[in-house]
Structure formats: structure tokens, C-alpha cells
Amino acid sequence: MEKSELKNDLLVRAARGEAIERPPVWMMRQAGRYMKVYRELREKHPSFRERSENPELAAEISLQPFRAFRPDGTILFSDILTPLPGLGIPFDIVESRGPIIDPPIRSAAQIEALREFDPETAVPFIRQIFAAIHREVAGRSAVLGFVGAPWTLAAYAVEGKSSKDYAVIKSMAFREPALLHQFLESWRSPSSPTCATRLRAGRRRCSCLIPGRGSCRRWILLHLLCPTTRKSLQR
């Protein structure tokens, strides 16, 4: 899909470190409870995965803030765990509880059973969503995206849910470092092509998110988190 000519490139120029006439305005969590139109759509479609993976719904939600506020950046409505099923890891997002992965991935047999990630078959809806967004935005806002770093995706899969301290995966890092490293290497696959696919689909910027990094010890940061993240971004 061809990108629209970017008429409003303020956010892109700011990201490049160029001189800008004013700070760009955008919201990391643009869709949410503060928008009545979103709440009404959520009542009709309570499944988060349906809202984020159905091209028509995801494009509509992504465009709601653009129509209301005309921010300098328009973010795809999605989730960092979207690639999981492409590797053979089922998940769901439960209202008020967050993501649930059952069973969590904690054994060598589970890791070896993972499939190779193919974005064209695992997330084919991404291109369709972006085509719809670009048709309406028409270059008046930079299209933004995000993916989860290998550590982020592995942490959710190992913990089986959201966590405040990531105790299970940190314990694995020290007790079974070879197993965790093998798991992190498998996550390089979905992180890299997912980001590349989203950029090819028209995203002007694609952020790599690493929630929970502040709770990691220095050894984990230096030997597991940073190296695998760097490798995934270099592909």
C-alpha cells in the first residue's frame, strides 16, 4: 500500500530531532473510556480482540480521536500481544483483568512447539486497517504504531497475565537462563516482521515497547533484555 503524502510531518520531524515550530500533539492511548463514541462501540463489540483484529472496527476506533481532535499523530488501535497466536500461543484480553495466557509458557517442550511467525498469515488484517486509516487521514496526521519487545512478549507469555513485579520470568532468568534465552530468541521473529509489516503498511513511526523494564535487575537488562531488543530492531 502506498503511503499518503504527509502534509503534517511535525511529529516525524520532532522524532528525527529536527527543529520544529511547536511541540507535536498526540496521545499514546487515544481510544478509551473518555470518548462516548468508543464506549458505545465497545458495548456492541465487548471482545477486545474483535475490536483490534476486525479491520472495520479497528480502523473506526483508530480514527475516532483523529476526527475529534486532529492530533499530529494517529495511532493504530491494537495490542502488543497480537502476534501471540501466530506462534501458537492463544490469549484473550478480559475486561478489568487484562491479558490472559493459559497455560503460560514455562517449559522447554512448550518453547520447542512454537511455530515460526509469518506476519502475512498471522496478522493479515494489519494492512487492511492501515489502508482504511490512510484513506481518511490523507496525510493530515502521522500514522503511528507499536510492537512489543522480545522481553515484553515473553514476560506476558511466561507470567500468563499482567504483573507488577514479573517474579516468574525473573526467576527463570536466574534459574534457567538458557531456557529463557531460547524463548527470547524465538520472540525476535514476531517483533521484527510485525514492526516491518506495519511500517510497510504505512506507519511513519513504530515504537518498541518494554513495560516492566524498570523492575529488572542490571544483569537481566545487560544480558537478556537489551541484546534481544537490539537484535530484533536490526533485522
Q: Which residues are catalytic?
A: 29, 33, 42, 79, 156
Question: Is the CB of residue 53 less than 8 Å from the CB of residue 126?
Answer: no
What are the grid coordinates assigned to 194, written together?
510485525
Cβ neighbors of 155 (< 8 A, separation 6 or more) are: 163, 166, 169, 212
Q: How many CB atoms neighbour CB 56 within 10 A?
A: 11
Distance CA 43, CA 47 (A): 9
Q: How many CB atoms neighbour CB 219 within 10 A?
A: 12
CA 80 to chain centre: 3
